[in-house]
Chain A
Amino acid sequence: MPLSVSQRYKLLRKIEPYLFLAPALVVIGLIFAFPIVRLVTLSFQRPFQGQMLFVGLTNYQTIFQDEVFLRAVRNNLTLLISVPIMVVIALILAIFLFDRIRGWQLYRTTLFLPYLLPITVVGLIFSYIFQLSGVLNDFLKVIGLEQFVFDWLGSTRLALPTLMFVIIWKEVGFGIVLFLARLMSVEEELFDAAKIDGADWWKLHWYITIPQLATTIEFFTVVSIITILSWVFGYVYVMTGGGPGNATMVTELFIYLAGFRYNQMNIAAAVSVILLLVTGIFIFLELRLRERSAALEEVP
């Protein structure tokens, strides 16, 4: 039975939004959905005589018995120590800048600059600084602190902390700018009221500033966790290559090496799936936090 004019119109109205969305969905499908599906499939397969065989969780079993992989996971977890450090440093610097110390505009730019530099550039520069015959050690020798001359990136004990320092140096600028932006939007009379109510510098920031920053601190924390888990490849690749030994091996580098150096694409895929899941949990958490803070800020 042919559709009446009004029925056709209704049908068109119904499918119209999907028609508009279709091109975007196709692009997203090709760029995101397809690779993810392919990745998950690969992680359950192994090549055998030129064919891909389904092997279930074998790849996952393999990686969890792999010393290097476990080391990489441990290193990623160790690097997470930098998250609270970054939060605290960003908080302190943001508050100082907010208090308008002399020349704060200059400091603000200076502190944000590292965040804008490419990781490779930062990595290379710090490699030169931290080399055994690098700038830092030369400087230490000049000022007579020879006992502090170390092979910063070449020692298994110091390589990871040094790497962490560079990551903090670069990433903390983002936190400062986030916190500062939030503080600038806090009603100024709130601080005035607290000062009159009897708050000194410490109490003002403890009772007013930090609570006002709570949602921003949560946001920066989660984003930093995600960064540390899945965005440190550049630093490691440029500065240490995962060494010495596997002292600075991280999961991302492990994926890269497995996939492109040792041609074990299925192992790389399995690790990627795990990393994706862990990161996904934090992204989900972040979205929930954002929903909650949006609800909190809603004024009836």
Chain B
Amino acid sequence: MASVTFDHVTKRFGDVVAVNDLNIHIEDKEFLVLVGPSGCGKSTALRCLAGLEDVTSGRILIDNQVVNDIPPKDRDIAMVFQSYALYPHMSVFDNMAFALKLRKVPKEEIKRRVHQAAELLGIQDLLNRRPRQLSGGQRQRVAVGRAIVREPKVFLFDEPLSNLDAKLRVETRANISKLHLQLQTTFIYVTHDQVEAMTMATRIAVLNHGVLQQIDTPQNLYDKPKNLFVAGFIGSPAMNFFPAHLRRDNGKMYVDAKTFAVEVPSDRHAVYAPYIDRPVILGIRPEDIYNPEFAPPGILAQPVEAVVDVTELMGNEIFVYLKSGEHNFIARVDPRSRYTINQRAQVVFNMANMHLFDPTTELAVR
């Protein structure tokens, strides 16, 4: 159990800056997810924390102790790798016991802890097998088991679900969340999958090009993205963006995207005022676009005309790909909606949940 701090951490590989001045403080018992597209530096940050890479500058602290010069074996962390990295020449038991053996834990104690972890993960029957005799899901659990028996201060996960099939991934996701509750230890989890991040994290740190974009709770990240990148990364399907102008007309404020104009709720006027007659980017999530027939009452509905391009029936909802002039956007609408391709259709934007971004700084206007 421990807190973890990245204090102005930078990691360069030659000319490439993998992690750029990263500052994160992770509280004890927190489940922090580092998320971002591939190559954003999230794995590198984790490897720096594990001690597998040296940092170029800055400090990493575990439990308020600087660990920059402490080798991985003495950092008291455990890590689950994407490939699981099980030792192929050892049985499952030996894989799980390896770290304890190296630490000269008494044999009886090793046995007890391995069996305890195996029971927790439901892999008691696999202890005598070799990794190659296991399925992907079983290997994944053994890898987690190997981390658990250590009873480390911090658990690190590097994309541990990427090699599982979709169904197993959902199941394992829930199991890892449960594990976090049971173990009451700091979890730091790297993934490129924003769904994993949203479902498991107590806080999410979004990285891009080695730079921390935003760190917040999943709900805040979704509701109040700080910039275009976070807005586009969190949520599926991604938020729709419309290059537009802000204008005032008769005391009302409009976002004018040429082919349509939508009214800005009055409570935002003061904040958006500096952008009057300037280019802006309007952001609307697909779930904030409704078929007017099924729009719930009480939303700040603004009608928009568009042409239906493609529809995807998902069962509980329909993804409608729409076109308005040069704008392409997606709406997640009620499954009772009837849209046909090339039909002119009207949808409504719920302006209460609109986002506005500065096109030059890409920051949200707030």
Residues of A within 8 A of B (CB): 187, 189-190, 192-200, 203, 207-208, 211-212, 214, 297-300
Contacts and interface: CB of A to CB of B under 8 A. Distances in A.
A108 B162 CA distance: 36
A189 B83 CA distance: 7
Interface of B: 47, 50-52, 71-73, 75, 77-79, 81-83, 85-89, 98-99, 102-103, 132-133, 146, 150
Given A196-B78, A196-B99, A207-B98, 12 more contacts: A192-B72, A193-B87, A194-B98, A195-B51, A195-B71, A196-B75, A197-B99, A198-B102, A200-B73, A207-B87, A211-B87, A212-B89
A203 to B, nearest CB: 6
Nearest to A195: B72
19 contacts: A189-B81, A192-B85, A193-B81, A193-B86, A193-B146, A194-B98, A195-B51, A195-B52, A196-B52, A196-B73, A196-B78, A196-B99, A197-B98, A198-B99, A199-B73, A200-B73, A203-B102, A211-B89, A298-B132
Contacts of A196: 50-52, 72-73, 75, 77-79, 99
Given A189-B81, A196-B78, A208 B87 contact: yes
Contacts of B72: 192, 195-196
A294 to B, nearest CB: 13
Nearest to B80: A193
Contacts of B88: 190, 212
A192 B81 contact: yes
Contact of B82 (A189, A198, A300): A189
Nearest to B134: A300
A212 B85 CA distance: 13
Contacts of A299: 132
A187 B84 CA distance: 10
A297 to B, nearest CB: 8
Contacts of B102: 197-199, 203
Given A193-B79, A196-B79, A300-B133, A214 B89 contact: yes
Given A299-B132, A300-B132, A193 B85 contact: yes
A193 B144 CA distance: 12
Nearest to B150: A197
A253 to B, nearest CB: 42
Nearest to A300: B133
A200 B51 CA distance: 13
B85 A187 contact: yes
Contacts of A195: 51-52, 71-73
Nearest to B143: A193
B87 A192 contact: no
A203 B71 CA distance: 14
A160 to B, nearest CB: 38
B202 to A, nearest CB: 23
Nearest to A211: B89
A297 B98 CA distance: 22
Contacts of A297: 132
Contacts of B81: 189, 192-193
A194 to B, nearest CB: 7
Contacts of B85: 187, 189-190, 192-193
Given A198-B73, A203-B102, A211-B89, A192 B133 contact: no
B127 to A, nearest CB: 17
A211 B90 CA distance: 9
B80 to A, nearest CB: 9
Nearest to B104: A198
7 closest A-B pairs by CB: A189-B85, A197-B99, A193-B85, A198-B102, A198-B73, A211-B89, A195-B72
A203 B47 CA distance: 21
Contacts of B87: 190, 193-194, 207-208, 211
Nearest to A208: B87
A198 B222 CA distance: 39
A212 B86 CA distance: 12
Contacts of B78: 196
B144 to A, nearest CB: 13
A99 to B, nearest CB: 14
Contacts of B89: 211-212, 214
Contact of A192 (B52, B71, B132): B52
A221 to B, nearest CB: 18
A193 B86 CA distance: 8
Nearest to A189: B85
B153 to A, nearest CB: 12
B139 to A, nearest CB: 11
A211 B89 CA distance: 7
A200 B73 CA distance: 7
A235 to B, nearest CB: 37
Q: Which residue, A200, A203, A207, A211, has most C-beta atoms of chain B within 10 A?
A: A207
Contacts of A194: 87, 98
A192 B75 CA distance: 13
A103 to B, nearest CB: 18
